[in-house]
Amino acid sequence: MAERFVTRLLRALVSILLTAAILGGGYVGMEALSRLKREAPRDQSALPEIIVEVQRLHRQDYVEWLLAYGVSRAKRESSVAAEVAGKIERVAVELDPGSYVQAGQEVVWIDDTDLRQQERATLARLEQARARYERLKSTLRGVEKNLALARLELETAQRQLDRLQEAVRRGAASPSDVDAQLLAVRARERAVLDLENQREAIERDLEGARAEVDATEATLAQVRENLARTVVRAPYGGYVVERFAQPGQYVAPGTVMFRLVDRSIVEVSVALPAGRYGQVKPGNSIELRIREDGPVLWSGQISRVAPTVDPSSRMFHVYADVTAPDGREAPIPPGAFVVANVQARTFQGVFAIPRTAFLENRVYVVKSTAGDGELGVIEERIPKVVEFLPDVVLVREGFADGEEVVVTNVDLVADGVTVRVYRPEPHGAQAEAWRPLIGRLVRHRPIPTVSGGSG
């Protein structure tokens, strides 16, 4: 029993001693660390250094550009149809979709056999009608000559009758002579009347013959026009969109044979908000892209502005005519959705300050800088704004030409704060060296190693 008691006592004593040793060691360590902390000097170089990017201001005439979207369409696009009935004999190889055809180029040929027969028959009728017309003209001329002669004979007989009647009054002639002459006058009058009736009848026939000639000539002209239509030509230079005509196919007037589009002039319609109406006018500049990140495919001027605003969408449209430099293919294809930069208002003599330079209504100007990467002192400004635009704010007063405003880390600076200035360059060694640092809000100097000490 005594041995068990001694064993338990020793174990308890060992535990107490170990616990005391651990607590004592911890206290000593904490005390050493505390002395080290109190003795470490504070190096001011460990304070953060603010790097800001600046932009130099220049008073200028600022042109506002609007980002907008639109669609393009060909100003000339046609479905070319047959104008006469018949069987298609052949089709030009250039009529395949995507091919270009010249204006007036022959592309489809329709069988003209029936029309050739109509032409020959109409020519025969025309010859007959003209022959009849010429015969009637000749007959009319003969009747008119006889009529003139009969009228002359009537005048002569009438004068002879007048002389006989005067002679009877003087007793130089007998009444029977007068009666005989009177009968001669009446005969001449009947002859004149008959010839006049003949002339009128012939003139009526001549009018009918002339009408028949005119009608037959018109029929012949129509037949020949239809003959010309059996050869289908491209109405203008353009690209074949679709082809429906096939050799051996029977077509009637109105049957569509192919679709043609003229890409030399493409109209682009761009939608703008109603609030911009009056700010964009014909003659303003416009740039067109297919993609927002793509190159400018065409730049030119606004040709027309819609006179009204769409009440449902509250948008209005401006139009630009995109022309082909080679006369065949405009750089914007028909049917494309386009991204447009449209010139709007021009502000005279303003400073254009990036929106990133504003912290609420404040702007920070860097003063007393010696050059790229040098230190500068922040000066706070509250400018009077002329116009807020999506990317910039336009200001007329409150700045001097050439002053520099902070455009990054504006939430870390304040009036009187010293900063390190970065001026971006398009290319160059400085831009490459500073690029890793500009992405950070604050750059820290390395903290020097602290040596231990007492006291």
Residue 26 — very low, low, confident or very high, per pLDDT cuts 50/70/90? low
Q: What pLDDT score does 429 carry? A: 47
Residue closest to 315 by CA, chosen among 69, 115, 13, 108: 69
Residue (of 44, 54, 46) closest to 409 by Cα position: 54
Residue 133's nearest CA partner among 206, 217, 218, 201 is: 206
User: What CA–CA distance (Å, rounded) separates 381 from 385?
Assistant: 12
Question: d(Cα 36, Cα 281) in Å, to the nearest integer?
Answer: 76
152 band by pLDDT with thresholds 50, 70 and 90: very high
**pLDDT value for 346:** 93
pLDDT of residue 326: 82
Q: Determine the Cα–Cα distance for residues 101 and 236; give it in Å rounded to an integer.
A: 8
60-69, 294-303, 421-430: least confidently modelled range: 421-430
* pLDDT given for residue 8 in this prediction: 59
Mean pLDDT of 289-314: 94
Say whether pLDDT at 299 is over 90. yes
CA dist 56 and 402 (Å) reads 6
> 33 pLDDT exceeds 60?
no
Looking at the predicted structure, is the pLDDT value of residue 319 above 80?
A: yes
256 pLDDT higher than 80:
yes
Q: What backbone torsions phi and psi does residue 84 show, to the nearest 5 degrees?
A: -135, 160
* Mean pLDDT score across all residues of the chain: 84
**pTM listed for this prediction:** 0.62
Q: Is the pLDDT of residue 453 over 70?
A: no
Q: Which residue has the higher pLDDT, 179 or 349?
A: 349
Across the range 416-445, mean pLDDT stands at: 56
The pLDDT value recorded for residue 141 is 93
pLDDT in tens, 170-206: 887 888 888 888 898 999 999 999 999 999 999 999 9
Backbone angles phi and psi of 366, in degrees to 5: -95, 125
| Per-residue confidence (pLDDT) for residue 175, from 0 to 100 | 85
Q: What is the second-level CATH architecture of the domain 49-62+350-443? A: Beta Barrel (2.40)
Residue 30, pLDDT score: 59
Give the pLDDT score at 435: 45
All residues at 6 or more sequence positions from 289 whose CB lies less than 8 Å from its CB, including other chains: 295, 296, 297, 338, 339, 340
Specify the pLDDT at position 166: 85
Confidence of residue 97 (pLDDT cuts 50, 70, 90): very high
Give the pLDDT score at 210: 94
What is the CB-side half-sphere exposure of residue 310 using CA atoms within 13 A?
11
- Is a pLDDT exceeding 90 seen at residue 28? no
Q: How many CA atoms lie within 13 A of 132 on its CB side?
A: 18
Residue 282 CB contacts under 8 Å (≥ 6 apart), including other chains: 301, 302, 303, 304, 305
Residue-level pLDDT at 44? 40
Q: Which tokens belong to 370?
A: 């010696």
In CATH, 65-76+261-346 is 3.40.35.10: no
> For the CA atoms of 302, 305, 309, 315, what is the dihedral angle to 10 degrees?
-10
Higher per-residue confidence, 446 vs 364: 364
Long-range contacts formed by 36-41: CB under 8 A, 24+ apart = 36/450, 36/452, 36/453, 39/452, 39/453, 39/454, 39/455, 40/450, 41/450
Structural domain 113-229, CATH architecture: Orthogonal Bundle (1.10)
Window from 65-79, 113-127, 301-315, 409-423 with minimum mean pLDDT: 409-423
Q: What is the pLDDT of residue 328?
A: 83
Average pLDDT over residues 229-254: 95
Q: Region 301-315: what's the mean pLDDT?
A: 95
pLDDT of residue 37: 46
Per-residue confidence (pLDDT) for residue 225, from 0 to 100: 96
Could you state, in order of their start, the residue ranges of all structural domains in the chain? 49-62+350-443, 65-76+261-346, 83-108+233-251, 113-229
> CA 189 to CA 328: how far, in whole Å?
80
pLDDT of residue 356: 92
